[in-house]
Every structure is written in C-alpha cells, then in structure tokens.
C-alpha cells in the first residue's frame, strides 16, 4: 500500500510538472505572436486542424503535447524573421554599392563626372536627384549645337560668321545669350558636383582638391563666355559707329557683285596732327579687286600728279575743263591740293552726296585722272595706323636704309627738325616707327615713299595674326571708330569679309604711276588710262577674268591712246647710275629691287645716309 501511495504521488507530481511546462510554452507563444494575433481572426485549436482519422493518435504524455504545439506555431514566424533578415542584408549590400563605406572611395567618380559636366552641361545631373533637369539641359545643349551646325553648313562658315558680326541687333542678342548661358553652365557644374557628393565621405585633401576643381572648371567655362559676350557688344557698337546704315538685306559676295567683275576701293591716309593746318591726303591708293579670285592691283596715286582731271560730265569737269589749274603751276596744282580747294569752295563743287567737300573733290580727281570708277572708299588717320600695327604686335621687316623721323618742310617752307631715326636692318617696327617708315620724305622722293608704303601694306597683310588681333580687339575697335571712316554699308560687310579671305589667298600686285608711264608734271591722261587698264587686267588670273569698271574720259580717248608710255621724263626722275655707268638696283622710280626693298634716286645699298648718327640712334622723341 505504501508503494502504491508513493507511485500515485510521483505520478501526480509528473502531471503537474508537465502542465506547468505547457502553460509556460503557451505564454511564450502568446507573447511572441500577440502583435499578429491582435489584428487577425481567431486561430483554431491545434486539434481542430487535424484529420478525423488521427483523432485517437494523441501524444502519450503532456510533454509531447506541449512540444508539438510549440513547434507547429513557431515555424512560420521563424521563416518570416529569416526572410526579413535576408531582405535587410540585401538592401544593405545594395546601399554599400551606391555609397562608399570607406573614406574617399568615390573620389575618382566625383572628379570624372564633374569634369564631364563641363563638356556636356547636365550630364552630371543624371546621377543625382535632379535627373529630369539634367535630361532637359543636356537635350537643349545638343539641340542648340545641331541647329548652329546646320546653319553653318547651309550658309558656309565664312558667310555665317560675316552675317553675325555685321548685324548690331544679332550681336546685342548674342551678347545677352552668351552671358546667360555662361551663368547657367557654371550653376550646373556646381549643382552636379554637390549632388554627386551626397552619401559619400572624403578625406580633407580630397575636399580641398574638389573645391579647386570646381573653381577651375567654372573659370574654364565662364571666361570664354564672358569674353565672347563683351566682344559681341563691342563689335555691335563698332559696326553701328563705323559702317553706314544698311541699304538692304545682307548678301554674299557672289550675289552682291554678280555683275561687277572688279570693285575699286579708294584708300586714303590722312594726317590731322597738331602740326598740320587743315587736312591733306598723306597717302592715296586704289585697290582694284577681282571679286572672283581676290587678286588685287594696288595702285599708288602720286601726290605730285599735276593738273588732275575730273569725270566727264561732272560739275567739277565743267569748272576745270582743262584740269585742276588754280595757279597754272605744275608744282602747286597737284592732286593732293584738291582737298583743301574743295573745303574752301563748297558752293562750287555741287552735291557731295554726304561726303566732306575735300573727300568728294579728291575722289573725283582720282576717278577722272585714273579712269576708274570708285565703288567704295575708306580713310584712315595716322593715329589709327599706329593702333593697327601695335594690335598685331608690330611688323617684321628688313629696313633698307636709315629712315628719318621728322624733316621735310612745312607748308610755309620752313625746314622741320629731325628728332629720331628708324635704324636699318631686320627688326619689328611698332606703331610709331612703322608710321615714319611709310611717311618719311626727308632725303627721299615721292616714288621711294610710295614704294615703302606698298611694301608695308603687303608685309602687314602677310603677317596678320588673328590671335593677336583678337586679344587687342576692344582697343582696336575703339580706335577704329575714332580714326577710320568708310562708305561700306552694314549689310555689305559679310561680302567684304568673304572678299578679304579671297584676297589673302590671291596675289597683290603693286602699280606705280611714275614718269616712265607719263610725266607727272604734265600727264597724258589718255595714256595713263590705258596703262592702268592693262595693269589691272594683268593682276587678274588671265583672259577669263572680265574687264574692270573702267571709265575713260571718252571712248575716243581709249581708241587713240598710245601703246607706249611717254618718254618725256625729266632728268631728275631717271634712275641714277653708278660711277662705272651701271644702273643701281632700282631700275625704275618707285619700284622695289629684286629683294623687294625700296631706295630713293641715286642711293645705293650700303651708302651712308646724310645726317644719320649711326646704329642705335633710334627714336629720340
């Protein structure tokens, strides 16, 4: 009986222990699933989900029953927890790919994409939260580039450039657009940089280097756009001030001069210095330009051409039917005296078509005397010539002999002082020295002077550097508006740009009017007209080039003009000879020798020049 009681007591203790274990597991399960159970329908009991055939297959003890219940309800939760952990790990791995976990790991990518934003605005924004804005900016940039490229391809590079730079309206608009685009482009670079930095860590030196990079890229973009905006504004003001009003729509050279094989442009240099009373033409040239090839005959008009005549049928021709003879003296009634006479007799010359009386009468004298219609004109004051030479960095030239600064005589006949020298030898002449090289008359003659002028023009054209001109352009443009005047209208500037390009590729022939052609003190203008026509035709490309716009005084004069130049040259204008009877290198007055150098009458290379103190004298003024 005692054994039975002990066994019964042990069995009761086991049942109680199993019951407590079951209650503990139930409480743990309830607490772990409380959040899910609170929002879901009641879960059926474990036994309710079993098939009826297994109703009697119950655990043999309370411990097995408690284990089975805990296992069945905990397995789905553990699977859900495992999936959540795996998803978190995957997301962390993805973030690790996008954002560096180590300091400075993404610096090369930052530098690369920021730099690329300088070349293609907006492309760096594609990797930031501003992606839509980046697409718009990049698309706008590509579209603008394609439109500009199409415009250039349709019109041609030279014509497109000429159309833009000759229109003040387009230039003003371009100045505003360039400034706005420059600011936007810089902002895009900065925004792209800071957008790419987000989520990354960088070392201190990398932050500093990144700052230097952004500032440098901003300057690379900002400076060209800023300079372009300023230059566009300057060019617009220059075109408005320098050229005449437009006379129609802009045309190409081919369209504008379709029926003009040649155009004749009168070029005049004048000196309005403080030491001059009034204005006298210092240099007169006519450029007869082939509009197809750009080949040019550069004709120098002698200042001492006496008794100039005027176009047939003009009021001036009626006033001076036998040529310009106010005094009847060949040494006074010269072509460079016509300007002053015109200024003093405004009521006599008639309609000047808006020109200064002096300019109008001088151009009329050149037209009549040379037998050429002048289509355009340009006048340059000496100060403007100096600015042009300085703007291109000077002119490299081998000065053939000492050139005096000053000298000559004033209008009253008083000798002027020589205050400096241009030394002989290879050198680069700046503005003032170059000016005296072309204008000095001391110890020289008009023919030698004209030769030096033509040499300087040709040398300057050959040495023009567009980069140096671009650097000095604002100053040069300001000087041009003050020292240059021209009859070229704004809408014809593009055609002249095309013609200038053709001239650089073509040939420039110098033409000297001297006593071997006709005596300058008593010229035969019939002979002169025919000779000039032949020189202009000879400067072209051959027989296929049409005749220039030549207009002799009468058709009869053309037919009766003699084929050979006059032989009545005075002795003082004949080329000098050496002691042995051999001629000097200069065989004709005003023509350069084989080396392209110019010498006055009687001067041989290597001779001492009167009054020259020696090398190094330079400019003492």
Q: Cα(72)–Cα(525) distance, rounded to whole angstroms?
A: 128
Q: Measuring CA to CA, which residue among 434, 421, 270 is closest to residue 340? A: 270
Q: Measuring CA to CA, which residue among 571, 563, 602, 564 is closest to residue 584? A: 602
Residue 90: the pLDDT is: 59
Residue 595: the pLDDT is: 84
| Mean pLDDT score of the chain | 77
Can you spell out the DSSP letters for 179-191?
A: HHHHHHHHHHHHH
For CA atoms 519, 525, 527, 529, give the dihedral sign: positive
Instruction: Please write down the HEC assignment for all residues of 517-536.
Output: CCCCCCCCHHHHHHHHHHHH
Q: How confident is the model at residue 368 (pLDDT cuts 50, 70, 90)?
A: very high
Contact predicate 279/485, CB 8 Å: no
Residue 328: the pLDDT is: 92
* Beta strands at 484-486 and 508-512: parallel, antiparallel or unpaired: unpaired
The tens digit of pLDDT for each residue in 576-614 reads: 333 333 334 444 666 788 888 898 888 888 888 888 988
CA angle 588, 591, 592 (to 5 degrees): 125
The tens digit of pLDDT for each residue in 268-300 reads: 887 655 454 556 677 899 999 999 888 999 998
For the CA atoms of the chain, what is the radius of gyration?
47
Asked if residue 3 has pLDDT above 60, the reply is no
SS3 104: coil
| Residue 263 φ/ψ, nearest 5 degrees | -125, 145
Residue 172: the pLDDT is: 93
Q: Measuring CA to CA, which residue among 305, 276, 300 is closest to residue 288? A: 300
Q: Which residues of 559-588 are buried (b: 16+ CB within 10 A; e: fewer)?
A: eebeeebbeebeeebebeeeeeeeebebeb
Can you spell out the DSSP letters for 558-616?
A: HHH--SS------GGGSPPB-TTS-B-S--STT---TTS----TT--TTPPPTT---TT
List Cα–Cα distances, 549 to 263, 286, 372, 497, 518, in angstroms.
7, 13, 6, 21, 22
Helix H or strand E segment including 283: strand 280-290
The tens digit of pLDDT for each residue in 78-125 reads: 666 777 766 665 555 444 444 444 676 788 888 999 999 888 888 989
Q: How confident is the model at residue 322 (pLDDT cuts 50, 70, 90)?
A: very high
Lowest model confidence (mean pLDDT) among 211-225, 310-324, 432-446: 432-446
The tens digit of pLDDT for each residue in 448-482 reads: 888 898 888 888 877 877 667 777 777 778 778 88
* Distance, CA of 188 to chain centre: 26
| Residue 41 φ/ψ, nearest 5 degrees | -65, 160
CA angle 399, 405, 410 (to 5 degrees): 135
Q: Which residues of 348-359 are buried (b: 16+ CB within 10 A; e: fewer)?
A: ebeebeebbbbb
Q: Cα(326)–Cα(334) distance, rounded to whole angstroms?
A: 10
Q: Measuring CA to CA, which residue among 128, 125, 161 is closest to residue 141? A: 125
Q: How confident is the model at residue 327 (pLDDT cuts 50, 70, 90)?
A: very high
Pull the structure tokens for residue 289: 């330009």
Q: Cα(374)–Cα(286) distance, rounded to whole angstroms?
A: 8
């Amino acid at each position: 009986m005692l054994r039975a009681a002990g066994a019964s007591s042990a069995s009761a203790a086991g049942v109680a222990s199993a019951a407590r274990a079951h209650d503990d597991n139930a409480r743990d399960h309830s607490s772990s699933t409380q959040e899910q159970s609170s929002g879901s329908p009641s879960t059926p009991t474990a036994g309710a989900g079993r098939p009826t055939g297994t109703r009697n297959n119950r655990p043999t003890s309370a411990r097995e029953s408690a284990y089975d219940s805990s296992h069945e309800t905990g397995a789905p939760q553990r699977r859900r927890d495992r999936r959540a952990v795996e998803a978190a790990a995957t997301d962390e791995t993805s973030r690790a790919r996008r954002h560096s976990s180590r300091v400075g790991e993404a610096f090369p990518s930052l530098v690369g994409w920021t730099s690329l934003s300088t070349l293609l605005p907006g492309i760096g924004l594609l990797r930031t939260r501003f992606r839509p804005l980046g697409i718009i900016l990049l698309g706008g940039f590509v579209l603008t580039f394609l439109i500009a490229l199409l415009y250039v391809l349709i019109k041609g590079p030279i014509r497109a450039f000429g159309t833009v730079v000759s229109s003040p309206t387009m230039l003003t608009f371009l100045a505003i657009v360039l400034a706005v685009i420059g600011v936007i482009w810089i902002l895009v670079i900065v925004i792209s940089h800071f957008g790419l930095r987000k989520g990354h860590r960088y070392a201190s030196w990398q932050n500093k280097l990144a700052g230097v990079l952004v500032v440098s890229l901003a300057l690379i973009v900002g400076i060209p756009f800023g300079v372009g905006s300023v230059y566009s504004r300057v060019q617009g003001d220059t075109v408005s001030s320098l050229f005449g009003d437009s006379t129609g729509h802009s045309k190409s050279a081919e369209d504008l001069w379709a029926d003009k094989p040649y155009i004749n442009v009168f070029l005049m240099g004048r000196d309005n210095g403080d030491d001059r009373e009034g204005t006298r033409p210092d240099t007169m040239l006519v450029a007869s330009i082939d509009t197809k090839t750009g080949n040019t005959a550069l004709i120098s008009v002698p200042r001492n051409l006496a008794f100039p005549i005027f176009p047939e049928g003009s009021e001036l021709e009626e006033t001076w039917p036998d040529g310009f003879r106010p005094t009847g003296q060949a040494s006074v009634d010269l072509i460079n005296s016509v300007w002053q006479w015109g200024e003093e007799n405004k009521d006599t010359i008639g309609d000047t078509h808006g020109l200064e009386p002096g300019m109008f009468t001088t151009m009329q004298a050149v037209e009549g005397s040379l037998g050429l219609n002048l289509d355009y004109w340009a006048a340059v004051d000496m100060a403007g010539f100096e600015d042009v030479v300085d703007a291109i960095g000077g002119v490299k030239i081998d000065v053939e002999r000492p050139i005096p600064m000053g000298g000559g005589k004033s209008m009253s006949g008083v000798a002027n002082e020589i205050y400096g020298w241009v030394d002989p030898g290879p050198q680069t002449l700046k503005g003032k020295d170059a000016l005296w090289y072309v204008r000095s008359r001391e110890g020289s003659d008009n023919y030698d002077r004209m030769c030096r002028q033509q040499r300087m023009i040709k040398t300057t054209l050959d040495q023009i550097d567009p980069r140096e001109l671009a650097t000095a352009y604002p100053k040069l443009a300001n000087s041009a508006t003050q020292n240059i005047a021209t009859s070229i209208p704004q809408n014809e500037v593009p055609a002249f740009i095309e013609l200038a390009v053709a001239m650089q590729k073509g040939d420039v022939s110098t033409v000297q009017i001297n006593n071997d052609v006709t005596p300058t003190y008593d010229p035969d203008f019939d002979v002169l007209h025919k000779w000039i026509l032949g020189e202009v035709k000879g400067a072209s490309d051959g027989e296929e080039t049409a005749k220039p716009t030549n207009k002799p005084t009468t058709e009869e004069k053309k037919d009766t003009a003699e084929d050979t130049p006059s032989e009545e040259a005075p002795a003082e204008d004949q080329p000098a000879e050496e002691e042995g009877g051999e001629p000097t290198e200069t065989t004709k007055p005003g023509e350069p020798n084989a080396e392209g150098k110019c010498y006055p009458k009687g001067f041989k290379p290597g001779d001492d020049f009167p009054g020259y103190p020696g090398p190094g004298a330079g400019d003492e003024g």
